[in-house]
Chains A and B, each alone.
Chain A
């Protein structure tokens, strides 16, 4: 396989449940019997991936075209709507790429972006041409040529301002109309006044026109605006396009005896739902027949699967592991557990004090100061010289020179660079504000199941287990999708010899049974596998292999820690951050993990309890970063000052988080904090540079010494300095990265010993 086939077996296995009906529900009609399906394939990242994915998809019968978009990590497939949809997800998994259905409504053509890009192109064209004409004027053109060039500049500037300036004028106008002010107000006033003054000068054959300044200003500011938009939009769509862990629909038994696949929103209370093994529970329901094990890790944080039988109540979002179940819906989707979490989240979000971005805070101070300075300059000159024309000219020069060109670029430029760094390291950032908040945190709160751990058990004490017993158990375990079975199968994969499939039967809620020769072998919970349950230590986390009721071997499991969990926690505490584990799981499981990592812990916490803990920390003056994945973490993610979620998290959790990391390793957490902090440092430097520029330029302007040439040089150079400073984030990152890997390498032997 190519360089980038990721470990496929580590991702959640329930995606096997992506069924044909789901694919159809998520696709849309293109006409002529062709349907389009969009898949998100986060693991693609090179040319080899493009070729592998496109070739595999194009080879499927029924596929018209398949095309990969590497920037968006998506594949777009057009297929003929004749039979069932081709097995896209299964095919991609077989070549080593996990893929998820992309919500059909999630991405519409981004009209705001193309408007910004068009405005940027027009402003760039106008700015370069006017600058060309201005240079010859500055070089000392004779008055006739100068007037001609000024007139030409006016002709170019007018449509450019009308077209490209709309972005700012609109926002400034709506702010002014509501009695507020934002960064766009001084921009609009400066640009329009500069243009008006220049037009007046041109008509009266004046020597100085500021057409170049007004258009160049627009051009630089549009760059900042476009970058800002790009960053937010990319993260937004990427996050939307990730795994859809909530069921999209379910097979419902109709009164007329037929079964129909209905979308979740159409399932009513009292409907009978047929749930196959490997599917998620679509709405809250009660089991009426069948036996199975339920994985509730995403919902409650419990790591061990729970056996269910007739009468058991299931929450929406839990995963059915071993046997088919028949449910009766007890709530519609909007009243289900998931919706309840959404409500908790909304209240948590409302309670969180609104964060004001640095740029917004700066602009609130900026506009009044600049306008007051210009007004005072005008009054001063009027009093000193009595020349109205001169006074107005100088005042407008002050406005032009102070126009927040560098300020408008200072913040977005750094944040775009940071977002790009994060994206390359497999992290998606929601918006720039999140980056600013992330830089300020002092406490990190982790969820356990699915965050610190992978939510997948691992066999303990392998070396003490009898090899023959392990081989047999592993061979039996390959016939089940229970997490313990998978762990056993993985542990014994090298020594197991395949068993005849007919000889093994899965007893849902109990275990596996195999008949070999005259013996009955059972692999499962002790109370079922052993004829007399002699020991009282019937721990949920133990599996027994028995022959005719006699114990052969016992297997103990524990949830596997995420890669680098230990080093990550050490990194964070070493960096002076407080670390805490907050879990809904049983106390002993949480205690073991937290003890191993050397962190404080709270166990058996309800979703509301998590929110309470986070708000308590916040009100005692801490800035909390919440890292969690489950539905039960979502309200706490929304309540925390900043939040992160792994890509394997529940939809709701991912949407609540500021930052989503795609890779398995927890290193993402200190890395993100590191990038956020260096970005915050650069933003401060950039703001200082922008203010320093004004401190020098404003007195020059107030004294009336500014000519269009000086304005052009000053503005361009300040913008370029700010951009160059932002680009330093690249090298800052490189250094910290090498340090990080050195640390990780140093930590490796220690981890190897203890594992």
Chain B
């Protein structure tokens, strides 16, 4: 019986975390273009990331 005291809250917290993640994804527009996202992963547009640090001189 005492196991419930932490198991049930953990289960609910995990569920709420999932719910929160979905809400965040929805709000940040990740569901706006599902077909596009599926295709974009195949695009070969590897541009070098902007360099945040100046190249270190050795």
Which residues of A are at the interface with B, using a C-beta cutoff of 8 A? 46-47, 50-51, 68-72, 114, 117-118, 121-122, 125, 128-129, 132, 144-145, 148, 152, 156
| Cβ contact within 8 Å between B23 and A47 | no
Across the interface, B36 reaches (CB within 8 A) one of A50, A117, A125, A152, namely A50
Across the interface, B26 reaches (CB within 8 A) one of A68, A71, A114, A132, namely A114
| Cβ contact within 8 Å between A129 and B12 | yes
Across the interface, A70 reaches (CB within 8 A) one of B12, B15, B16, B35, namely B35
Q: Which 10 A-B pairs have the closest CB atoms?
A: A70-B36, A47-B39, A70-B35, A125-B19, A69-B33, A71-B35, A71-B33, A47-B42, A121-B22, A129-B15
Minimum CB–CB distance for A120 against chain B, Å: 9
Minimum CB–CB distance for B54 against chain A, Å: 26
Residue B56, interface by CB 8 Å: no
Closest residue of chain B to A49 (Cβ to Cβ) is B39
Chain B residues lying within 8 Å of A144, measured Cβ to Cβ, are 1
What 12 new A-B contacts, CB under 8 Å, besides A70-B35, A122-B19, A129-B11? A46-B39, A47-B42, A50-B36, A68-B36, A69-B36, A70-B39, A71-B32, A72-B33, A118-B23, A125-B16, A125-B19, A145-B4
Closest residue of chain A to B26 (Cβ to Cβ) is A117
Sort chain B's interface into a size bin. 20 to 34
Minimum CB–CB distance for A463 against chain B, Å: 45
The dominant DSSP class at the A interface is helix
Report the bound CA distance from A114 to B25 in whole Å.
12
Residue B45, interface by CB 8 Å: yes
Minimum CB–CB distance for A78 against chain B, Å: 15
The verdict on A121 contacting B35 (CB below 8 Å), with A129-B12, A152-B8 known, is no
| Cβ contact within 8 Å between A69 and B32 | yes
Residue B49, interface by CB 8 Å: no
| Cβ contact within 8 Å between B1 and A145 | yes
Minimum CB–CB distance for A573 against chain B, Å: 37
Minimum CB–CB distance for A241 against chain B, Å: 14
Report the bound CA distance from A607 to B1 in whole Å.
79
The verdict on A70 contacting B33 (CB below 8 Å), with A117-B26, A129-B11 known, is yes
Q: Which residues in window 1-46 of B have CB below 8 A to A?
A: 1, 4, 8, 11-12, 15-16, 18-19, 22-23, 26, 31-36, 39-40, 42-43, 45
| Cβ contact within 8 Å between A51 and B15 | no
Chain B residues lying within 8 Å of A121, measured Cβ to Cβ, are 19, 22-23, 26
Minimum CB–CB distance for B28 against chain A, Å: 12
| Cβ contact within 8 Å between B8 and A50 | no
Chain B residues lying within 8 Å of A47, measured Cβ to Cβ, are 39-40, 42-43
Chain A residues lying within 8 Å of B33, measured Cβ to Cβ, are 68-72
Chain A residues lying within 8 Å of B15, measured Cβ to Cβ, are 125, 128-129
Chain A residues lying within 8 Å of B11, measured Cβ to Cβ, are 129, 132
Chain A residues lying within 8 Å of B39, measured Cβ to Cβ, are 46-47, 50, 70
Chain A residues lying within 8 Å of B16, measured Cβ to Cβ, are 125
Closest residue of chain A to B42 (Cβ to Cβ) is A47
Chain B residues lying within 8 Å of A145, measured Cβ to Cβ, are 1, 4
Report the bound CA distance from A152 to B5 in whole Å.
12
